[in-house]
Structure 1
Amino acid sequence: MHTAVDAFHATLEVTERLVRFFKTKSAQDLAGTMAFFARRARYIDATLGWDLGSWSELHAFFAQYMPGWPKNSASYPVRILGDLRSAVVFFTDTAGLFGPSELRLAGAVDFERGLITRQVDYWDGRHFGLENLAGLQMPTDQFPAEFGEKAVTGTSSVIMRRVVRDLAGSLGRGDGAGAARLFSPDAVFEDAPSHVRIEGRRAIGAYLTDAVGLLPYTGAGTAVRHALGNELGGGFEFTASEGPVPRGIVGLELDRWQRISRLTAMWDGSLVDDATLLSLAQRAIER
């Protein structure tokens, strides 16, 4: 393991399960890795548009890549949110696993009887490197139309679904003040592709109001694809029918009063131009 895992907003069972999964994967143990997946498992890379729709396709994928992984390379979790029904896991793939650069990802993971039935990984293509990304992404019209969410309904808790519904509703209406009321007073807001980090409920509300329509999970046309997690943490995958970024994921940590104490958004920054990212950063300046 390369770093301590932040699992304060996850159950012990899902933490142990995912830590073992990543250790086995890093050890290039193909059979052991595949033992963590259900036979009806589906894996999607939401940035590249790769859709592995069966256990056998996923097996073939790892069988192709694992033998070429560099010595001492690793895939390891950094933060886990949720339980053994569903979770959001932030993790790192070191350079050489799936390209010449490291990957920092946020995965949506659904389980059944402890086995992974669905995994969708989201990451920022800009962090990977625009040159490294070229040629890997599927054409836009060849991305999967759905991400297997209909096969895993009801894997999140009632509490998380309520928080997600209220937050996504406020964000979709452009109601930054309404969204801010769902946060704890000392909450932290992080948008990974724009490198924006804001502390405090008032400042978060002001930013969400000012950046509506620029952040891909705010404004008209946004919707929840799938909610994940429990009363500790989790989040939701989102879709956006307007604007250049059609999908992404938002990780949520909840406090004991079921308020959001930390929000972390991950989406593909390669889909927007430099000016958009600069505008998102400028809107974080407090006056």
Structure 2
Amino acid sequence: MSRHSPDACEATASRAYRPSRPALYPDIADTSHASPNAIEFFRKFYTLKSSDSPNIVDCYDPNQTEYYDSTLGLTAGANRSSLVATLRAIEAQWAETAPNDRSYPLRILGDTIHGAIVHAVDTPGLFGAEIRELSTFDFVNGTTSRQIDAWDARGNSVTSTLTGDPVYPDLGLPGLAERAAAEMGVVVDLLNTALSTGNATAAASLFSYDAVLEDMTLRLRVEGRSAITSYLNRTVQSLPYGEGTAVTHVLGSAMGGGYE
């Protein structure tokens, strides 16, 4: 597959959706709960990332940008200048050592106004081992103002080459604006209230009959409301999103999203 230098990343709420040039990666993302602007933004974002292009910095807000790896406790960019330097160094390295590797989305939820969550994969050459991450994106004027990556480090050799900050970062939460759609906020409040108080039945009632619950921590998939109810009743006291937990940030539109 040939490589090219794609245009700078841009996607705003006012810009009409137009399909971009063919992606460099498998175009298999589930976008059923994403807005057209989010689909276009992330197509450009992952095309730029996969093409080792320094133009990926244009996907980030010029005045307010933060990036954190929550698994490692790593701050890769607490401001625009440090993020630009980090991204350009990484892209230059990939151009030399991993010219045929890719990063691409598997599922996109939300939009470029209220925030989005992306399930994505980095092929092994980028970081030394395959990474499947959940990334949250906050936006300002159609560009990313805050990005958090979370991934399963168990048995992953990447942890032997990357280390976190001496003190675990605050993940940009202090002073972070809440821009999630009202509908998403209501659902998150209902779900977290039920889970945090150990009311598995109430939590399960928020799922549709044909819902699927994927627990990436335990690497399992539960299908259907009945099975989800049984699962939550057994596990709600010990789940990392269960009893005693609190919401720190909500992202997403009425179509889809989530919370931290």
Q: Give the TM-score normalised by the residue count of structure 2.
A: 0.84
Q: Would you say the 8 A contact 1:110–1:152 is kept in 2?
A: no
Give the equivalent residue in structure 1 for 2:83: 58
Amino acid at match of 1:43: Y
Q: Does residue 227 of structure 2 align to residue 203 of structure 1?
A: yes
- Cα distance in 2 for partners of 1:36, 1:66 equals 14
Q: Would you say the 8 A contact 2:178–2:249 is kept in 1?
A: no
Q: Would you say the 8 A contact 1:47–1:137 is kept in 2?
A: no
Amino acid at match of 2:31: A
Give the equivalent residue in structure 1 for 2:18: none
Query: Would the alpha carbon gap of residues 131 and 72 (structure 1) be closer, same or farther in structure 2, given more than 3 Å must change?
Result: closer
Please give the per-residue CA displacement for 1:178-204, whole angstroms capped at 9, x wherever unaligned: 101111011100011312111111211
Please give the per-residue CA displacement for 1:38-60, whole angstroms capped at 9, x wherever unaligned: 12100010001111201111111
The CA deviation at 1:212 is 1.8
Count of residue pairs the alignment pairs up? 230
Give the equivalent residue in structure 2 for 1:263: none
Of 158, 165, 169, 2:182 maps to 158
- Larger strand fraction of residues: 1
Of 87, 100, 123, 2:151 maps to 123
Please give the per-residue CA displacement for 1:99-149, whole angstroms capped at 9, x wherever unaligned: x101100111011111100000111112xx34441363326x6111x2223
* SS of residue in 2 equivalent to 1:101: coil
* SS of residue in 2 equivalent to 1:186: coil
Q: Unpaired runs of 5+ in structure 1?
A: 238-287
Of 160, 168, 171, 1:134 maps to 160
Q: Would you say the 8 A contact 1:87–1:229 is kept in 2?
A: yes
Q: Unpaired runs of 5+ in structure 2?
A: 1-24
Amino acid at match of 1:170: A
Of 223, 226, 229, 2:249 maps to 226
Of 103, 109, 119, 1:75 maps to 103
Of 31, 35, 45, 2:58 maps to 35
Q: Would you say the 8 A contact 2:136–2:148 is kept in 1?
A: yes
Give the equivalent residue in structure 2 for 1:111: 139
* SS of residue in 1 equivalent to 2:208: strand
- Cα distance in 2 for partners of 1:21, 1:2 equals 14
**Identity rate of aligned residues, in percent?**
37
* SS of residue in 2 equivalent to 1:185: coil
Give the equivalent residue in structure 2 for 1:13: 37
* SS of residue in 2 equivalent to 1:62: helix
The CA deviation at 1:151 is 4.1
Amino acid at match of 1:67: A
Q: Does residue 117 of structure 2 align to residue 94 of structure 1?
A: no
* SS of residue in 1 equivalent to 2:125: coil
Q: Would you say the 8 A contact 1:81–1:89 is kept in 2?
A: yes
Give the equivalent residue in structure 1 for 2:13: none
The CA deviation at 1:61 is 1.1
**Structure 1 vs Structure 2 CA RMSD:** 1.5
